[in-house]
Every structure is written in C-alpha cells, then in structure tokens.
Amino acid sequence: MRKYHALPVALLAALALTACEDGTGTQDEGAAKPRVTSSTTAATAPQQTSTDTKGTQSGTTGKTNGGNSGAAKPTDPADPANRVSCNGTNTTVTAQPVRRPVNHMLITVKNTGSKYCDLTYYPVLRFDEMQWAPRPIEDSKPQAVTTLAPGESGYSGVTLSAADGSGDGGTTGRKLEVGFQGRTPNSNGGPSALPTLPAKGMYYDSSLTATYWLRDMDEALTY
C-alpha cells in the first residue's frame, strides 16, 4: 500500500470531526437564546396605573358636576319678567275676624302661583252690594311694594266698625269681595277673590278702613 493515501483519509476524518463540533456549537447557541413565553409577554405588557384610575374617576366626577352646574336657579324678583300682579287667579284669600284689636278682620293673601306676585296699594273691599269704597289707612303705607314669592303670604288689617260706636250705617255683610289694584292707583289688577265669611257674617259701619298690603301679620293689626 502506498503511504500517500494516508493523508487524505486523515484529512477527511478531521473535516468530519470539525463538522460535528460546529453543529454542536450551533445547537448550544440556539439553546442559550431566551424564549418568549406568555408569562414574559404578560409581565412586559403596560398596566393601568392608579393615576389613570384617578384620572378616569375625576373625569366622571367632572361630568357630574358639570351637569349640576346647569340646574335651574331661583328666579330673580328684581326682573319684571318674573313678577306679576297678585289677584284671584294666583292666590288664595281668607278673611277672618280677630279678638284683638276689637272690631277688626285680617285678610290673608297667599301666593299659589309659580312667579313672584306684587300686592300693590291696598285691597278694594265690597260687602254685598255696597256702593262706596272703604278708605285706606295712609299711615300703614309701606316703603316698598309687598312682593310675595311662591308660597309666601301678605296681609291687610281691616277696621270693621268704630269701637266707640261713632260709625254710621252699621249693617251685617254676608258676602265679601276683595279686589286687587294694578301698577297704578285704582287700576284693575285682575280678578277679585271671594273669601268665605263666618256664618253670622261681619258687622261693619262707615268706619270701615283697611291697611295697605303688608308682609307682617302683626303689623297689619296695629292700626
């Protein structure tokens, strides 16, 4: 056998060995690379922080507050558009005798409407078919018009007859009409009211007078 054949065989063996080592090295490098798993993905995913949550809550609250800010506000009594004249259509009226002072009656007007109403000047009273108008008590004139908010009441104190008997033409009234004045004196402020009187009626004479419309019941009965 010739010796020059030994070198190629040895060379082939060495090349085969080298190829195996390179393949093993390649597999090791592949095994060393990190694998991306579902747990790794979940860990690295961005999470909503407490700041985001507060921001969301604040945004919700802000919307709610914004809705409340648009709530209806009470009407302004200084605006003429929010005020009407008090009369028989937007009030309830009662007329009751009082013990003190003697021979007096209290008229109460309650605003049952949805707007402010003005009680201007004094009531225009008429018992039955009387043909004359009772005089107002000028000393009772208030500094400003008596304006009633919805649900509020105004008052007028009425002197039915003279305590000393000096009045003339005394008679008993069975029916009472309470008239309302408008923005100017003696103008028509709207429909009248017909409050119920006691069954025995109300005795009155020529001393019949009434105060201006007032906000305070006790003040109305001081004249």
* pLDDT value for 30: 43
Contact 208, 144 (CB under 8 A): no
C-alpha–C-alpha distance, residues 202 and 184, integer Å: 30
> 33 in a domain, yes or no?
no
* pLDDT value for 82: 81
Strands (E) located in the chain: 83-85, 91-98, 104-111, 116-119, 124-127, 135-136, 146-148, 153-159, 171-173, 176-179, 202-204, 209-210
Considering its fold, how many domains does the chain have in total?
1
> 176 in a domain, yes or no?
yes
* pLDDT value for 76: 75
* pLDDT value for 75: 67
* pLDDT value for 66: 39
C-alpha–C-alpha distance, residues 169 and 204, integer Å: 8
* pLDDT value for 77: 73
> 5 in a domain, yes or no?
no
Domain that holds residue 107: 82-220
Low-confidence ranges of the chain (pLDDT < 70): 1-75
Q: Counting Cβ atoms within 10 Å, is residue 188 exposed (0-12), middle (13-18) or buried (19+)?
A: middle
> 202 in a domain, yes or no?
yes
> 89 in a domain, yes or no?
yes
C-alpha–C-alpha distance, residues 4 and 92, integer Å: 138
